[in-house]
A and B are shown apart, each in its own frame.
Chain A
């Protein structure tokens, strides 16, 4: 593909990734949140694919496919399993209400751009300039983790963080060595599985997967 298309596709998909992150903060319905996550995963795959095609890097193409499968399909389905069992499947009372969260998201995005100046300066390619998007997605994910009560939305937050970092990895270095990349995504998959198992057990024990009940252990 030609260069302008390449850059626009990259930019577009990065934008989508951040947008999905914001959506996670925005929507209350857990299903919607999971859907957003799935979309983000696909966008991430798209980024990897574009980079791979543009850089004629077959390894990266493989990774793209892998990401598509893992983050676009498998992970969301795993999570929806939990949601399906969950009765009140809405993030009704986030610790920070939605408008405030969106403002925070804005601030975090700004911070991401400010903080990654040194990186963009170093990787001055078309892809390099997009790195802040990855950082932003990561920060927003972290924010979701810290403010959302439902187990599901916390898992999603974790995955947002992960996608963000993966995006940075792709953009900055066109993929860290394959073995590491594989290890990383495998780990993510495993973590989701573990969390899903734990969430199921939680539901069996506590009836719901509301994380506020996890305050037995304290000083």
Chain B
């Protein structure tokens, strides 16, 4: 069967899954739908892997679908990379869904939108014409919107999150459409091939306009600052499998779009484009990690850290563009590989983290870290998996996040002294941003893991938590395993990424990466031996543990009460909370965050020197939201109220409109003669 055939048959499977999800009775629904969805993922990724192996894109065209344009699919190696990425998240998320469904994700509409959502995610990277792309893109938006609204009947927050997400997505889509249409208007046709062939002849101004429009449009999907505001609203409200898919896969497609425009359709651009991308990336990384470090809602924290990771991906992307624009093609390729790998590993660990967070929510009914704690004892496997995910996102060796940051660091490192002044200034700053981001990420996730899973439960819900059903653990575990494998043996993924990049960028020349047991950058002296590193770490740990055992006289471990500063009986309320944990960082970045603190002290009646009670509350709002979005919304609302005067109900007024129009028309005509 040709890969094009596989592609379509995968899509058909997806449709079938959606129909089944809508049709079957509740008992069988989830199981069968899930099975079909997984089948879809498998088929699509087989097609994708075929493309990656051969390097020949998979083509499919139908003139019977989509009136006036026809539908075209062509899976390039780049697209295939993203199809695989989506599948990597979708399969575990769907497994997880089977167990999660009984917690309010089994309605007909939900089931079939879930299936459609996955199908759309899998086919968007294969779309090869404006109409096809926008069709699938909007299906993706619509279904994800429906899924965000799953809990609308229970949670008001879900409703408003839905509106935010819907509006921002729609505006983003409008930008993307405009970008496409400028190209299409120039080239006549609407297939990507036509766009690509004519884009070079376009005037620089128009090219820039197209790129910037696309950057805004796809940036809003990727959750890049300042278009990130929907993530911390929508991701927490969506059911966890959906959050995992949105945050792991859908957001990555935003970056795909930027690559599609910047590197494929427009075929690269001047330095300043990529400096903008770089800057956006740096800002998003910092802003995201900073807010992640300061959020106490577990899923909100994860959402912000998505902004952070997309920032890193954009950082890599910007660097790649910069290098290509200054003629260093191999370095450019290397950074693009880094970007792809970062996206790939982000999909894995963010998926794992969101699924684990979902399990926590299911087990405890809570998301606020200040109400969790001690879960590692009650949910050992979920807890362990969350720790793995956290270690990966903190880029600690030997997990996958580390390899990504190493690649990024190396490409940046060898990017200095390229002789392009903006680059020389930009890159050290980029490194600094990368570093600070890494540090803040560690704060965020030590907090999440430490406060959430270690110590003692801070609420009855956490007290009563028990481990979640098998399928949920299986889904999370799959992703956790991927994190480890991709960290220990990145050579499993990198060749594919590299092929994709070489198919995307012009004249890369020889491969930028040589990979055996160790990872070697060609042309520069940079080697990483992840497998050896991991092995030696394990050996060292075993040795030290053995020594500890060997040297101690007494083998038994006595359980003792913790030191309470001489105080008897340390209660759970005395532990550091997430808020207090983040407090130092909050103080350091006071000027950026402007946290809202309120302390109220009430004295006893007799004397104002004796406190009765004292409460301290601290909240960190998203200042970009309040500075950028709130004013716009209020002005639009005001305009809406004002505009109602246009329609006061008086027939005379209405006729007067007509009269004025007529008079003006006649006057104009009189002038024209």
Which A residues fall within an 8 A CB radius of B?
A: 95, 108, 111-112, 114-115, 117-118, 139, 142-143, 145-147, 149, 154, 211-212, 214-219
Is there contact, CB below 8 Å, between A111 and B644?
no
Segment at the interface with A among B358-366, B628-636, B665-673: B665-673
Counting CB contacts under 8 A, is B532 at the interface? no
B54 at the interface (CB under 8 A from A): no
B contact residues around A147 at 8 Å (CB):
652, 656
Q: At the interface, yes or no: B516 with Cβ under 8 Å from chain A? A: no
Report Cα–Cα, A117/B666, bound state, in Å. Answer: 11
For the complex, what is the distance from the CA of A147 to the CA of B644, rounded to whole Å? 22
B667 partner residues in chain A, CB cutoff 8 A: 111, 114-115
A-B pairs with lowest CB-CB distance, top 9: A218-B649, A215-B649, A115-B666, A114-B670, A146-B655, A219-B644, A219-B647, A115-B670, A146-B656
Chain B's closest residue to A149 (CB) is B652
Determine whether B648 belongs to the interface, using a CB cutoff of 8 Å to chain A: yes
Query: Is B571 located at the chain interface by the 8 A CB criterion?
Result: no
User: Chain A residues with Cβ under 8 A from B544's Cβ?
Assistant: none
Q: Which chain B residues in 636-673 approach chain A with CB under 8 Å?
A: 644, 646-652, 655-656, 658-659, 662-663, 666-667, 669-670, 673
Partner of B670, one of A117, A145, A215, A218: A117
Q: What are the residues of chain B within 8 A of A143 when measuring CB–CB?
A: 659
Q: Which residues of B contact A (CB under 8 A)?
A: 644, 646-652, 655-656, 658-659, 662-663, 666-667, 669-670, 673
- Contact in complex: A217, B670 (CB < 8 Å): no
Q: How many A-B Cβ pairs are below 8 Å? A: 56
CB-CB nearest in chain B for A211: B651
Inter-chain contact A111/B658, CB cutoff 8 Å: no
Give the residue among A117, A146, A149 with the most B Cβ atoms within 10 A: A146
CB distance from A145 to the nearest CB of B (A): 5
Docked-complex contact B663 and A111, CB < 8 angstroms: yes
**CA A215 – CA B658 in complex, angstroms?**
18
Do B670 and A214 touch across chains, with their CB atoms under 8 A apart?
A: no
Q: Given A143-B659, A146-B659, do A111 and B670 touch, yes or no (CB 8 Å)? A: yes
Q: Are B651 and A142 in contact (CB under 8 A)?
A: no
Residue of B nearest to A118 (CB): B673
* Nearest chain B CB to A114 CB, angstrom units: 4
6 of the cross-chain contacts (CB-CB < 8 Å) are A115-B666, A139-B662, A142-B655, A147-B656, A214-B649, A215-B649
Chain A, Cβ-Cβ closest to B644:
A219
The minimal Cβ–Cβ distance linking A163 to chain B, given in whole angstroms, is 17
Check B658 against A142 for contact (C-beta < 8 Å).
Answer: yes
> Which residues of B sit under 8 angstroms from A217, Cβ to Cβ?
649
Distance in Å: Cβ of A32 to nearest Cβ of chain B? 21
A95 to B649, CA, bound (A): 15
A154 to B650: give the CA distance in the assembly, Å. 13
Q: Which residues of the other chain, B, contact A111 by a CB distance below 8 angstroms?
A: 663, 666-667, 670
**Closest residue of B by beta carbon distance from A216:** B649
- B644-A214 in contact (CB<8A): no
Sample of 18 more A-B contacts, CB < 8 Å, known A115-B667, A212-B650: A111-B663, A111-B667, A115-B666, A117-B670, A117-B673, A118-B673, A142-B659, A145-B659, A146-B656, A154-B651, A211-B650, A215-B648, A215-B649, A215-B650, A216-B649, A217-B649, A218-B648, A219-B644
Neighbouring A residues of B655 by C-beta, 8 Å: 142, 145-146
Chain B residue numbers with a CB within 8 Å of A139 are 662-663, 666
List the A side residues contacting B663 at CB < 8 Å.
Answer: 108, 111, 139
Residues of chain A within 8 A (CB-CB) of B666 are 111-112, 114-115, 139
Alpha-carbon distance A146/B673, docked complex (angstroms): 27
Contact A95 B652 (CB under 8 A): yes
**A179 CB to closest chain B CB, in angstroms?**
27
- Residue pair B652, A218 in contact (C-beta under 8 Å): no
Contacts of B650 in A (CB 8 A): 211-212, 214-215
The docked-state distance in angstroms from the alpha carbon of A212 to that of B656 is 15
Q: Which of B648, B652, B658, B659 neighbours the largest number of chain A CB atoms within 10 Å of its CB?
A: B652
Shortest distance between the CB of A101 and any CB in chain B (Å)? 12
Rounded to whole angstroms, the CA-CA distance of A95 and B651 in the bound complex is 12
Distance, CA A118 to CA B670, complexed state (A): 8
Contact of A218 among B647, B658, B669 (CB under 8 A): B647
Q: Which residues of chain B have C-beta atoms less than 8 A from A219's C-beta?
A: 644, 646-647
Closest partner residue, chain A, to B665 (CB atom)? A115
CB-based contact B652/A142 at 8 Å: no
- From residue B637, how far is it (CB to closest CB) to chain A in Å? 14
Residues of A within 8 A of B673 (CB): 117-118
B177 CB to closest chain A CB, in angstroms? 30
* Contact (A211, B652) CB under 8 Å given A111-B670, A114-B670: yes
In the bound complex, what is the Cα–Cα distance between A147 and B653 (angstroms)? 9
**Complex CA distance for A147 and B652, rounded to whole angstroms:** 6
For B656, the chain A residues whose CB sits under 8 A away are 146-147
Chain A nearest CB: distance from B236 CB in Å?
Answer: 36
Given contacts A142-B662, A145-B655, A219-B644, contact A115 B649 (CB under 8 A): no
Chain A residue at minimal CB-CB distance from B666: A115
Which B residues are in CB contact (< 8 Å) with A212?
A: 650
Query: B667: nearest residue on chain A (CB-CB)?
Result: A111
Q: Across the two chains, which residue of chain A brings its CB closest to B647?
A: A219
Which residues of chain B have C-beta atoms less than 8 A from A214's C-beta?
649-651
Complex Cα–Cα for A118 and B644 (A): 40
In the bound complex, what is the Cα–Cα distance between A217 and B669 (angstroms)? Answer: 35
Instruction: Return chain A residues, CB-CB under 8 Å to B651.
Output: 154, 211, 214
**B201 → A minimal CB distance (Å):** 44
Find chain B residues with CB under 8 A from A145 CB: 655, 659
Note all chain B residues with C-beta closer than 8 A to A215. 648-650
The complex places the Cα of A62 from the Cα of B314 at a distance, in Å, of: 81
CB distance from A185 to the nearest CB of B (A): 22
Closest to B641 in A: A219
Least CB separation from B656: chain A residue: A146
- Contacts of B652 on A, CB cut-off 8 Å? 95, 146-147, 149, 211
Residue of B with least CB distance to A114: B670
Question: Smallest distance from the beta carbon of B25 to chain A beta carbons, Å?
Answer: 46
Q: How far is the CA of A217 from the CA of B650 in the complex (A)?
A: 9
* Chain B residues closer than 8 Å to A149, beta-carbon distance: 652
CB distance from B193 to the nearest CB of A (A): 49
Shortest beta-carbon distance from B645 to chain A in Å = 8
Least CB distance from A25 to B in Å reads: 13
CB distance from B106 to the nearest CB of A (A): 42
